[in-house]
């Protein structure tokens, strides 16, 4: 509540206490128009008398208008205002209890401003107004109306098509929208490594998230099914000749490598091409990336570079060691710069034509000892989110 709103509340409370006609009334709620900073205040005796202080009532005697009992309803006096963009800045627990009962009885068929109801439920979700809270405050058995809530409270998560989606803060540039973080897995969510952050309409946020995922993301259950098929095709057909001639032709090693390659294909434009069959596009992608696949296979089985040896690349880069964290390729890289040697742990790296790229990395300046220590930690399945205060940079070489 801002200082101005507090001042308005105190002035109205003083007016009520000093008025012979309104001493029995108290403020039920205050709504604020963020665009004009004007307030809409309702005061009542809790039974059958109510008065309203609004920008339009200032010209009336006393600065308020009477609200007839027969005329007052939450639909017009609250949900309607919320749809217009006004915000709740104060509301008594008794009013909340009344609203919950009203929504329980009337929603959705007998309420006109349904988006306003969703905005109210969003307010409750973000401010801890729950059935348990109201039961404790009023001593009554409050009907639970959150089953009607189509939004997502700030910091709350939902799962859809294999993704974890988290509601973040309101968009400062558009208060009618929430920032939404999309994660590919529980581990990514734990590491705070989201795929992207988008801004979606707050009203009906859950459905807006579903619609967005439907439009821009592939169902991960479908992806996993496709990945299993591509792994099989690669192992028994397209890469069979290379794998059978390998120094490590064991089935489990070959499977892991094909599974990794299949994952790379899933990220390609060829995979998204629906004009041809999945097999045809996989075959084309393999033919177009033969050198890359051979290089990755050598790294995968430890032939190039040799374990704990370095492989020289362009731009003063050396691959010192390679490995995997949960099938995620990781490399320990040495880079010669104008300021000296820098050591990097590179995640999701690729090597093509003596050029290395990675999705993100941890940078150690010339501290080789710590870089090696953290690299072993990563190979054991650990993460480095807390290894420095500020260490992770998105970077491409």
Please compute the mean of the pLDDT values over residues 203-223 and round it to a whole number. 88
Same domain, 259 and 228: yes
Does residue 369 lie within any of the structural domains? yes
Q: 115, 130, 148 — which closes off a domain? A: 148
Would you say 26 and 111 are in contact if contact means Cβ atoms under 8 Å apart? Answer: no
Residue in this structure with the two tokens 């990563």, named with its chain if needed = 378
Is it the case that residue 395 has pLDDT exceeding 60? no
Same domain, 19 and 130: yes
Please compute the mean of the pLDDT values over residues 129-153 and round it to a whole number. 95
Same domain, 141 and 10: yes
Same domain, 319 and 258: no
DSSP string, 265-292: HHTSHHHH--SS-HHHHHHHHHHHTHHH
Does residue 306 lie within any of the structural domains? no
3-state secondary structure 182-210: EECCHHHHHHCCCCEEEEEECCCHHHHHH
DSSP-derived secondary structure letter, 359: S
Residue in this structure with the two tokens 């090597």, named with its chain if needed = 351
Bridge partners, 328 (sequence order): 325
Same domain, 388 and 294: no
pLDDT computed for residue 302 by the predictor = 63
List pLDDT tens digits, range 282-335.
999 999 988 888 878 877 776 644 444 467 888 888 888 888 887 788 999 998
Same domain, 242 and 184: no
Bridge partners, 393 (sequence order): 361
User: In a 10 Å sphere around its CB, with 0-12 CB exposed, 13-18 middle and 19+ buried, how is residue 387 labelled?
Assistant: middle
Would you say 360 and 347 are in contact if contact means Cβ atoms under 8 Å apart? Answer: yes
Q: How far apart are CA 165 and CA 203, in angstroms?
A: 16
In the structure, what pLDDT confidence band is assigned to residue 397 with cuts at 50, 70 and 90?
A: very low
Average pLDDT of the residues of the chain: 88
Same domain, 143 and 178: no
Would you say 197 and 168 are in contact if contact means Cβ atoms under 8 Å apart? Answer: yes
207: containing domain:
157-216
Sorted by sequence, the CB contacts under 8 Å of residue 103 that are 6+ apart come out as 111, 117, 120, 145, 148
In the structure, what pLDDT confidence band is assigned to residue 362 with cuts at 50, 70 and 90?
A: very high
Same domain, 20 and 141: yes
How much is the pTM? 0.55
Q: 260, 275, 301 — which closes off a domain? A: 301
The number of distinct structural domains making up the chain is: 4
Q: 201, 216, 231 — which closes off a domain? A: 216
Same domain, 88 and 181: no
In the structure, what pLDDT confidence band is assigned to residue 186 with cuts at 50, 70 and 90?
A: confident
Residue in this structure with the two tokens 């604020």, named with its chain if needed = 32
Q: How far apart are CA 217 and CA 184, in angstroms?
A: 10
Same domain, 248 and 381: no
| 43-52, 161-170, 196-205, 338-347, range with the lowest pLDDT | 338-347
Q: How far apart are CA 305 and CA 187, in angstroms?
A: 29
In the structure, what pLDDT confidence band is assigned to residue 390 with cuts at 50, 70 and 90?
A: very low
Residue in this structure with the two tokens 């691959």, named with its chain if needed = 319
Does residue 372 lie within any of the structural domains? yes
R_g of the chain, CA atoms, integer Å: 31
Is it the case that residue 10 has pLDDT exceeding 60? yes
Same domain, 91 and 178: no
List pLDDT tens digits, range 227-255.
899 999 999 999 998 888 876 676 788 88
Paired sense of beta strands 65-67 and 50-53, if any:
antiparallel
**Assigned token pair, 69:** 């009992």
Residue in this structure with the two tokens 């309702």, named with its chain if needed = 42
Same domain, 132 and 78: yes
């Amino acid at each position: 509540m801002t200082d101005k709103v507090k001042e308005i509340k105190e002035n109205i409370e003083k007016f009520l206490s000093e008025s012979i006609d309104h001493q029995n009334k108290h403020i039920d709620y205050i709504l604020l128009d963020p665009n004009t900073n004007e307030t809409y205040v309702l005061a009542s005796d809790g039974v059958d008398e109510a008065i309203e202080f609004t920008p339009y009532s200032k010209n009336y005697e006393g600065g308020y208008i009477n609200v007839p009992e027969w005329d007052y309803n939450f639909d017009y006096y609250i949900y309607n205002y919320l749809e217009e963009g006004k915000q709740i800045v104060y509301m008594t627990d008794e009013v909340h209890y009344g609203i919950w009962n009203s929504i329980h009885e009337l929603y959705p068929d007998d309420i006109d401003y349904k988006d306003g109801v969703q905005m109210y439920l969003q307010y409750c979700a973000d401010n801890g107004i729950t059935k348990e809270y109201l039961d404790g405050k009023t001593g009554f058995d409050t009907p639970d109306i959150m089953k009607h809530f189509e939004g997502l409270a700030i910091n709350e998560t939902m799962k859809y098509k294999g993704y974890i989606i988290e509601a973040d803060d309101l968009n400062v540039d558009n208060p009618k929208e929430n920032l939404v973080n999309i994660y590919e897995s529980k581990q990514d969510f734990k590491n705070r490594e989201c795929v992207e952050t988008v801004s979606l309409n707050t009203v009906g946020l859950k459905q807006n998230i579903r619609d967005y995922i439907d439009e821009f993301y592939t169902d991960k259950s479908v992806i996993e099914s496709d990945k299993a098929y591509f792994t099989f095709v690669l192992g028994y057909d397209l890469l069979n000749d290379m794998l059978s001639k390998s120094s490590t032709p064991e089935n489990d090693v070959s499977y892991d490598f094909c599974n990794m390659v299949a994952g790379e294909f899933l990220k390609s434009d060829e995979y998204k091409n629906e004009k041809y069959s999945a097999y045809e596009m996989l075959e084309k992608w393999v033919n177009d990336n033969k050198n890359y696949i051979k290089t990755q296979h050598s790294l995968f089985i430890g032939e190039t570079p040799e374990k704990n040896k370095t492989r020289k690349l362009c731009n003063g880069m050396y691959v010192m060691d390679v490995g995997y964290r949960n099938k995620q390729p990781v490399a320990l890289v040495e880079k010669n710069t104008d300021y000296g040697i820098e050591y990097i742990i590179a995640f999701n790296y690729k090597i093509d034509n003596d050029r290395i790229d990675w999705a993100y990395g941890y940078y150690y300046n010339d501290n080789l000892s710590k870089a090696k220590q953290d690299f072993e930690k990563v190979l054991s399945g650990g993460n480095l989110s807390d290894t420095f205060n500020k260490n992770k940079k998105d970077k491409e070489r």
